[in-house]
Amino acid sequence: MKRFLVLAEVEMDDKKYAEVQSWNVEPTDFIISVLADHGRDRGLLIKMRCMETEYHLLDDVSRSADAIAKDKAFDELGEVVLHNAMCVGGNCEA
């Protein structure tokens, strides 16, 4: 299975925000429902988190996600190097 990280900044106008709240539904839950249901209807497995913010954070969060992904890749590479059963030239030193 292939995995993707999707970062999105979603905006909702004030009228729709008030309408969603009038249903006794949190706007963040509404956004998760709309996006996740749409994806699940098309065969995607989705885990999602939504938070309301006053700021445009997409660029900052994207940079952080890139750094985290790079750190995880280096950690994985380090584990492979340390625990790899194959040794250069067939000679392994313990």
**Dihedral over Cα of 24, 30, 36, 40: its sign:** positive
Q: What is the pLDDT of residue 41?
A: 95
Question: pTM for the whole thing?
Answer: 0.72
Q: How much is the average pLDDT of 31-56? A: 95
Listed by start position, the domains of the chain span: 14-89
Which residue did the predictor score with more confidence, 77 or 16?
A: 16
Smallest CA-to-CA distance from 31 within 16, 15, 10 is with 10
DSSP reduced 3-state for 73: helix
- Percentage of the chain lying above the pLDDT 90 cut: 77
Q: How much is the average pLDDT of 33-39? A: 95
